[in-house]
Structure 1
Amino acid sequence: MKEISTKEVQQRLEAGEQLNLIDVREVQEVQAGHIPGIVNIPLGLIEFRMHELDRNIPYIMVCRSSARSGQATAFLESQGYEVKNMVGGMLEWEGAVE
């Protein structure tokens, strides 16, 4: 499974890079604070909503600690998507939060 650090994601966003972030936490968790610009698809809905994602676009999966996003990354990878898991999740995130 491909991984990316919270620091690298933060640096790339602060440099103005457009990243495709998918937050797989539950809606209430995301409402409590999330990285600006994320798309929220709770882990339990990934299988049913993956048709909304483009196999030609790389995605970074995010959750609280990187466990759920790891599951989502493994699943989407097995379905032919280009995905990375943000290791450490929101617990280690030091960048901007909405």
Structure 2
Amino acid sequence: MIQNIILIDVRTPEEFQNGHFPNSINIPLHELENRLNEIDRSKIIVTLCRSGARSEQAKSILIKHGYNSSNGGAWSVFNENK
């Protein structure tokens, strides 16, 4: 199942560099629609951000473009549980 999932962190590159979920890729929210060609449509896309707000927006964009997407929520929640 994990092979069928892509984690997309939609925070800024600076936020991403300060810590991110292992194996996630960084596509900032403001770049997402211009970078859809980088995302494999056959995978389940899980979006992440700091608070959950941008990842929800990203999920909506991906679904609008025909991707199977789920909001993974807030990086801060994962980061607190280290």
The answer, yes or no, to whether TM exceeds 0.5 is yes
Identity %: 41
2:35 is the counterpart of 1:49: yes
Match of 1:92 among 70, 73, 77: 77
Partner SS, residue 48 of structure 1: helix
Q: List 4+ stretches of structure 1 deviating above 3 A.
A: none
Q: Determine the C-alpha separation between the residues in 2 that align with 1:84 and 1:36.
A: 17
Match of 1:78 among 55, 64, 69: 64
5+ residue gaps, structure 1, are 1-11
Cα displacement (A) at 1:25: 0.2
5+ residue gaps, structure 2, are none
Q: Determine the C-alpha separation between the residues in 2 that align with 1:58 and 1:90.
A: 18
Relative to total residues, which structure has the larger strand share, 1 or 2? Answer: 2
Cα displacement (A) at 1:26: 0.2
Q: Which has the larger radius of gyration?
A: 1
Q: Tell me: higher relative CO, structure 1 or 2? Use CA pairs within 8 A at least 6 residues apart.
A: 1
Give the aligned residue type for 1:92. V
Cα displacement (A) at 1:40: 0.3
1:68 corresponds in structure 2 to: 54
Q: Give the length in aligned residue pairs.
A: 79
Q: Determine the C-alpha separation between the residues in 2 that align with 1:21 and 1:28.
A: 17
Q: What is the TM-score normalised by the length of structure 2?
A: 0.88
Cα displacement (A) at 1:43: 0.3
